[in-house]
Structure 1
Amino acid sequence: MKCKIERNTVQETLILPLYSRKLCTELYPNLYKDETAARLLDQIDYDFSEAEKNSRSLMQRFGALEVAMRQSDLAFEVRDYLKGHPNAAVVNLGCGLDNTGRACDNGRCKIYNLDFPDVIALRQQLLPAGNREQNIPCDLKDTAWFGKIDASGGVVFFASGVFYYFLTQQVRELVRGMADAFPGGVLVFDAANRTAVKMIAKTWLKTAKIKDVGAYFAVSDAAKEIGTWNSRLQVTSRGYMLGYNDLRDPSVSGFFRFLARVGDNGMKMQIVKIRF
């Protein structure tokens, strides 16, 4: 029985990142693999013809490369943390249908996937929680979910494509709260500067009817800007297109490597890592 997804629903917004991850796996197999994405797409009843048509365009393919790099950078940081804290909690903030937690599973960690209730309901159908794993319905901005995370063995939080939709003040309050609740933990997420966030916002602001893009979370110099939020925070960042991988793979054209440099340097597309 396939799971039907209607157009113009919250659940539809989960399909396109999933499709991007499948596309990345096909286009850049040496750089990125997401077997779950292809498997889940087979279980979903949805008209993919538009996504398939778009996937042939150059910018769509570069977008897929961005998704691939972002996911593999975040997975690198999760695995890196688990080396020193093998029993840690691995927490996917705004998880959608992403399976990075399980992809990084070392057989000992605890995996938590957090998202809005309707998203988690769909996830339970398609990706029911496995051993040492919980799917938690919540609003990330309401910190009641802190109490559900067992951080006794350490904790690494990651968020992919999530904080662009938060106001700066909301991210600041969340990070400060996490620093108090989870000392010794780490948060990693992707961010970009004001110019890039305005470009990202163009696509979703139309539907959200939001006027003031300037209030949304954007970062140019992470250490300087986020470091002032709390004296305990240790903030570092790396470009997310080339900061972890030089993209010298035959599947990536020279033009895409050029665009990757523009993204990292001009748009400040970066993976921010905060140690609490």
Structure 2
Amino acid sequence: MSTHETAHLTGVSKTMLLTVHARAEHTLSDRPRFTDPAAVELVSRLDYDFTIAGQDRLMADGVVLRTLTLDPLVAGYLATHPGCTVVNIACGLDTRFQRLDDGHVTWYDLDLPDVIELRRRLLEDGERHRTIPASALDFAWPDHLEDVSRDVLVIIEGLSMYLEQEEVRTLLDIIAARLPGATVLIEVMSRLFQRYGRERSVEDAGARYTYGCSSAAEFRRTVAPGFTLLHDVPFTRTIARYHPLLAPLTRLPLVDKLAERIVVLRAPV
């Protein structure tokens, strides 16, 4: 295996290089809130100019925030559903399995074939950690899962904002039809930020935001009508947890409207 791997990616797929760099950079910072040594190793092995990624604080801070929001939700699910199956959709170079593996979970990372091809060069599949080369909108991807009779958790991080509303609904329709009763954690960008927010490194990658939603209730009503809305976790709640002095600011209506959130749903049985 070569020391350095070249990434030939474009558009939305290219943004996965930004997120792995953000996690690696945070791990190497003076006071990291989480550590991701696998991300540090991946960045060291990629032949890619991360200059713009390193300069885009808004994007990098957003990746750290969503990691600090999602990791406890996933870890909590693993703790209460031992031996479950996790499907991580649009995984890119995500290393959550390496951070949270409890020794019992069966974990599937799904992404487009060119992404999985690069991922397999950098991270080998294992007995409980496998990859699926497929579009999230392909109705056949659940065929790759060996056992869906056990508890299933679906993670959809960093994807919905790059889809059209009907594509988000299609993705959730696939989950409802093929993974009844599954729990879904999906990152949802606010409509306000989707329309007016700008992240330099995302634009440099040739990607753009196409989907946003004002609330968890609106999300369930418009794209996941058969699902049960369990709760949602705005990123502002994570900010308040780590920076209590900012808590009053996070409760301002405009700040809430700008906040991304993790929406937690249960698929119909």
Give the CA deviation at 1:110: 0.3
Show CA shifts across 1:138-170 (max 9, x none).
Answer: 011012001212222211111221111111111
1:168 aligns to what?
165
- Matches of residues 145-156 of structure 1 in structure 2 within 5 Å? 145-149=141-145, 150-156=147-153
1:268 aligns to what?
259
Q: Indicate the larger mover: 18-27 or 235-244.
A: 235-244
**Is 1:237 the counterpart of 2:232 in the alignment?**
yes
Show CA shifts across 1:27-83 (max 9, x none).
Answer: 37442211111111111222334444x2xxxxx334322211202322211121122
1:57 aligns to what?
none
Contact 2:90 2:111 in 1 (8 A): yes
Equivalents in 1 of 2:150, 2:195: separation in Å? 39
**Paired amino acid for 2:42:** L
- List alignment gaps of at least 5 residues for structure 2: none
Name which of 48, 72, 79 aligns with 1:83.
79
Equivalents in 1 of 2:181, 2:107: separation in Å? 18
Contact 1:90 1:101 in 2 (8 A): no
Show CA shifts across 1:83-110 (max 9, x none).
Answer: 2221111111000011112322111110
3-state SS of 2:28 partner: helix
Cα gap change, 1:51 to 1:67, in 2 (>3 Å): closer
Contact 2:188 2:261 in 1 (8 A): yes
2:211 aligns to what?
217
Identity value in percent: 26
**Is 1:186 the counterpart of 2:183 in the alignment?**
yes
Give the CA deviation at 1:236: 2.0
Cα gap change, 1:220 to 1:238, in 2 (>3 Å): same
3-state SS of 2:233 partner: strand
3-state SS of 1:188 partner: strand
Contact 1:2 1:43 in 2 (8 A): yes
Cα gap change, 1:232 to 1:194, in 2 (>3 Å): closer
Contact 2:183 2:264 in 1 (8 A): yes
1:127 aligns to what?
123
**Is 1:247 the counterpart of 2:242 in the alignment?**
yes
2:15 aligns to what?
13
Contact 2:113 2:134 in 1 (8 A): yes
Give the CA deviation at 1:220: 1.1
- Matches of residues 39-188 of structure 1 in structure 2 within 5 Å? 39-52=41-54, 54=55, 60-149=56-145, 150-188=147-185
2:33 aligns to what?
31
- Give the TM-score, by structure 1 length: 0.82
3-state SS of 1:27 partner: coil
Cα gap change, 1:172 to 1:235, in 2 (>3 Å): farther
Equivalents in 1 of 2:61, 2:93: separation in Å? 18
**Paired amino acid for 1:176:** D
3-state SS of 2:214 partner: coil
1:2 aligns to what?
3
Contact 1:102 1:111 in 2 (8 A): no
Equivalents in 1 of 2:207, 2:227: separation in Å? 37
Cα gap change, 1:248 to 1:122, in 2 (>3 Å): same
